[in-house]
Amino acid sequence: MLKRISLLLMLACGLWLATTAAQAAKNEALDKAREAASHDEWEDAMHWAQQAVELEPKNEDAWALLGNTQMALGDTTSAVGSWEKAVSYDPRHTGAVLALTDHYLESNRVVDAERVVAAGEEKDKKGRIDEIKVARGLIFAHAGNMPEATKILASATAKNPKNPLYPQILARIYESKQVYDLAEKHYADAWALAPGDPVLAFEYGVVLQQQKKYKEALDLFKVVQEKDPNNKTVDYLVGRLYFAAGRYVEAARQFEMAVEKRPDHFLSNLLLGRSYYELSKSEKVDFYEKAVEWLRKASELKPDREDVKVLLAEVLLTRSRVSYAQAGQADQADVESDLMRLLYQRNLEELHGLVGNDKELQAAIDKVLVKLTSERQEEAKRRAKLLMLGIEYAREALTLNPTLPGAHGHIARCFDKLGLLDSAVVYQRVQYEMTPDDKTEFKRLVNMTQRLNRQGDLITLLQPMMGDTAMLARYGLILANAQIETANYNDARATIKQIVEYDPTYCDAHQLNAYIDLKRERYAEAIPALRAGVRSCPKESSLWVYLGDCLYFSNPKDKDTVKEAKEAYTKACALHNPDGCEKKEQVTELLKTLR
């Protein structure tokens, strides 16, 4: 994107300077805008360009220049709108035509590029305007027709040998095709015609970096500064050069110098924040605070820039996740130390009982025990502080981007780790509603709701899912248990029936089916469910024990029923169930007393 901004500025700025230099100024604001732009004072240039547009709403040059300033300040959408205004008043406006064509091709909006060029060609029926022909050449190049594109540009260069724009465009085309040797050659030609142009220096510098010619790339900006000692953009442009190369340490250093000279320069603040963010991600070091600081400043400078808010929200959430991870690492790291402290504490406590009446030694031991307790409390506070910091960052991220992916679920996990389950489930529910197809988020919501013992909420959450066999297999028993706990016994029975029909060997389902009656001490009523259970799960010893219990406690307690209970206990004992073995012996003794 940074690369593209530079090209568009080169296309647009060079052209309006060339095409309007001979024109008499129609308003003073437009003259001032041009002067500011020539020194890369883009904020001032935009201020005057806006005034120029207000003075002459149909002045295509004013609109084109406004678009240039907006692009220079990173507002692509507004820039395109301004350039479209320019061509609406004059379809042959060379700067706007080329800038729009290049932007639309970069965005793969070929139809829009064709529309702009065709409108210019319609007004230039005799084909006298080289820039419009070059715009057609850009379309050829985008389509892969390099012979036709180079033919057009060669012709334009031959007719305008002192115009750096055409070799610059040809260089850009070759760069896009990754033919860096030819790109470098044509950039060198353009530079020879316009040494010291800051935008061209940046473009040329990027290609030199691709060729591993780092010193030569930086030397270009020395020329820029020599040609224009008042130019305040050199640090910023060198920073962009480093940023484009992924050298974020050097980029951050340059952008820091840039914001020191121009504290309110939006792009310097933005890219300084981005440099720290990329540095944090690539080097696995924590510069997130710095990234947040400068992105906040950029957002304050341009509060209408939604893209900056989205980026700041992303960084805040990343910082929050780092804080959460640090808390988790602290937990893990403290497991061993907590264990060692506990053993140490136990030894001290034992020693305390052995020192007898030695008050001095007792006091010393007490002091160490207090210190151990205090250290554990401090560590707990530190972990809690990290988690609360994570929540704070993530909440701020949501104020900037309410639909930030994963943010609500992350806050839920922070609250959960803090033991604030009521708050956690609120955020987890929002996360699930935002991503209803995310099985992991659904699982977390079910888990939190279970731990809160909100059985009614579980029913509401799970009931609609039971038409899905996979969800039935995974969550059916949880739903049935919730229905039992809320005394919806018939619903629970229906849910279990559905589960057993899907998988007759699901032993836990048979056990829960019996529990519906066992919970209410309806032993006789539980027997059919348990008989069905042991038929499906003959090796499930606990089912045999429950069947024996129900037979034993059912009324009337006759000898045949007790014999059946003994048989059930015997089966359980054969499966190595100790309760079954013990109850078998007890029932055997009882049978001796029954007639």
**Residue 245 DSSP label:** T
Which CATH number do you get for residue 239?
1.25.40.10
Q: Among 30-34, 326-330, 334-338, 376-380, which is the least confidently predicted range?
A: 334-338
**Residue 73 phi, psi dihedral angles, 5° rounding:** -95, 10
The whole-angstrom separation of Cα 531 and Cα 568 is 10
Of 194, 215, 245, the residue at which a domain comes to its end is 245
C-alpha dihedral over 405, 409, 414, 416, to 10 degrees?
Answer: 180
Asked whether residue 392 is assigned to any structural domain, the reply reads: no
Per residue in 359-386, pLDDT (tens digit) is 665 666 566 556 656 666 667 677 778 8
Q: Distance between CA 560 and CA 541 in Å, rounded?
A: 22
Q: Please tell me the total count of domains within the chain.
A: 2
Rounded (to 5) percent helix, strand, coil in the chain = 80, 0, 20
- Backbone phi and psi for residue 551, each to the nearest 5 degrees, phi listed first: -65, -40
Which structural domain, as residue segments, surrounds residue 557? 531-595
Over the chain, what is the mean pLDDT? 84
Q: Is residue 403 part of a domain?
A: no
Cβ atoms < 10 Å from Cβ of 573:
21
State the alpha helices, DSSP H only, in 143-233: 146-159, 165-176, 180-193, 198-210, 214-227
Give the model's pLDDT for residue 372. Answer: 57
pLDDT at 587: 85
Domain termination site, one of 181, 212, 245:
245
Write the CA distances from 129 to 61, 115, 121, 136, 411, integer angstroms.
17, 17, 9, 11, 59
pLDDT at site 376: 63
Per-residue pLDDT tens digits for 552-595:
888 777 788 888 888 999 999 999 999 999 989 888 888 877 76
Report the amino acid identity of residue 521.
Answer: E
For tokens 């379809």, the residue is: 91
CA distance to 396, 446, 468, 472, per residue, from 432 (Å): 20, 10, 18, 19
Q: DSSP assignment, residue 24?
A: P
Q: What is the DSSP letter of 463?
A: G
Whether residue 33 is contained in a domain is answered as yes
Please tell me the distance from the alpha carbon of residue 69 to that of residue 85, in angstroms, as a whole number: 14
175-195: average pLDDT: 90
109 within a domain of the structure (yes/no): yes
Domain boundary residue, one of 183, 217, 245: 245
Q: What would the pLDDT profile of 133-162 be if each residue is shown by its tens digit? A: 999 999 998 898 989 988 988 888 888 889
Asked if residue 394 is part of any domain, the answer here is no
pLDDT class of 335 with cuts at 50, 70, 90: very low
**Residue 302, domain member (yes or no):** no
Q: Is residue 106 situated within a structural domain?
A: yes
> Could you tell me which of 70, 23, 61 has the C-alpha nearest to residue 43?
70
User: Where is 455: in which H helix or E strand?
Assistant: helix 455-462
Mean pLDDT within 470-483: 91
Is residue 584 included in any domain, yes or no? yes
Residues 50-107: pLDDT tens digits? Answer: 999 999 999 999 999 999 999 988 788 999 999 999 999 999 999 999 999 989 998 9
User: Is it the case that residue 356 has pLDDT exceeding 70?
Assistant: no
- The mean per-residue pLDDT over the stretch 416-423 comes to 88
Bigger pLDDT: 265 or 8? 265
For position 73, what pLDDT does the model report? Answer: 83
